Amino acid sequence: MSERIIPLHDERTRQARPFVPTPHILAKGLITDQLNRPLRDLRISVTDRCNFRCQYCMPKEVFDSNYKYLPHSDLLSFEEIARLSQLFVNHGVKKLRLTGGEPLLRKNIDILIAQLAHIKTPDASPLDLTLTTNGSLLSKKARALKEAGLKRITVSLDAMSDEVFKLMNDVDYPVQDVLAGIQSAQDVGLGRDALGHFSGLKINMVVKRGTNDQEVLPMVRYFRGKGMSLRFIEYMDVGSTNGWKMQEVLPSSELIERIGKEFDLQALPSNTAGETAKRFGFKNQSGHIDPSLGEIGVISSVTQAFCGDCNRARLSTEGQLYMCLFASKGFDLKSLLRTQASDEEITSAIAHLWGQRSDRYSELRAQQNTGSDMGHPPPGHKRVEMSYIGG
């Protein structure tokens, strides 16, 4: 059997220093790109490390004991993250999501959350502050996260079966420990809304046909009735290390059809503009939507592109700004921070970068590609790894 060789494109070097327009572009609470999409959502990777080795994100064949992670001095400090976040919020960002790697591996992450929780929006509206985790450290840190000011949390869980889950995370980590973390989040009230439901506690499952798609219904059975949002994500062609194949994608339409054979679902309207998930509520015995039962969401980034209203930017753990999850290059905001650029200069650079944005990879992929090669980048186009900029 031949050895599997996976090419890894390291996007941690050779990034472009952002152009700073003069006169400076001032923050007015709204900037739009070339397709008139506003900037509303900033996803911040706080570490490039993770204690799982999921095949769709950080496969063990690449991220082994010899893999060189970024030195701590290369990472943005909490103060640098907070400073940039305030400047993005001044431009109209309403949501900050902390990601990784696994963000709870970043030491004293609750201190960063407390700093971000004090950020003010131009119109004084509440900032949506959330975090995505694999749940492995959540039991230990849920209370500190809540007390620091975290509003919502998303936990990744790809199966209810221990055997399948361990196959997915590839480090022999048990399901029960993730479920214990979710319970700890509930116990401290993380994600609880005014009605007492846990609408701000989301469970994400990446569905890979032939690997864990048999776990879809067990997941629904377990989480239905807990007031949470269970979201299913199509296995995506992110980066170049996960060996992505179109035939391993389970389309969301087929997934909802499967669930609908056992549970009575009804489509729900979007909560916000640019929302990635299509939402479905559970009907109760009276035929009405019952929020206490929770809801289902599907993220169809392969089969139903949603680039048209994408309002997200991504900041890597070392301060590179990416305009798309499927981007091939970033822009080095850290170089501005560490050469004493003023807030006005960085604000102007951010506005210029977003104003030039025209990314719509998923839409173009759907238009130009079909069959088993769908999603593979053209020659010379190397996409950044999801583990580097978060999902």
pLDDT digits (tens, 9 = 90+) for 295-342: 999 998 888 877 888 999 999 999 999 998 878 789 999 999 999 999
pLDDT digit string, tens, across residues 120-139: 899 888 899 999 999 999 99
pLDDT digit string, tens, across residues 331-388: 999 999 999 999 999 999 999 999 999 987 776 766 665 444 444 444 444 656 666 6
Would you place residue 14 in the very low, low, confident or very high pLDDT band (cuts 50, 70, 90)?
A: low
Domains of the chain by range and CATH? 41-389 (3.20.20.70)
Identify the pLDDT of residue 77: 98
Which has the closest alpha carbon to 243: 46, 54, 45? 54
The CA–CA distances, whole Å, from 107 to 20, 77, 285, 319 equal 33, 11, 47, 18
For the chain, give the mean pLDDT.
Answer: 89
| Residue pointed to by tokens 């070392």 | 318
Give the residue-averaged pLDDT of 182-196.
Answer: 94
Number of CB atoms found within 10 A of residue 20's CB: 18
Catalogue the E-assigned strands of the chain.
41-45, 95-99, 128-133, 152-156, 201-207, 229-234, 265-268, 278-282, 295-299, 312-315, 320-322, 331-332
pLDDT digit string, tens, across residues 148-162: 999 999 999 999 999
Identify the pLDDT of residue 103: 98
Q: What is the pTM of this model?
A: 0.89
Would you state the structure tokens that stand for residue 70, as one six-digit string?
Answer: 């970024």
Which residues make Cβ contacts (< 8 Å) with residue 234, sequence separation at least 6? 207, 249, 250, 251, 252, 298, 299, 300, 301, 302, 303
Residue type, 331: F
Identify the pLDDT of residue 366: 63
Is the pLDDT confidence value at 240 over 60?
Answer: no
Is the pLDDT confidence value at 257 over 50?
Answer: yes
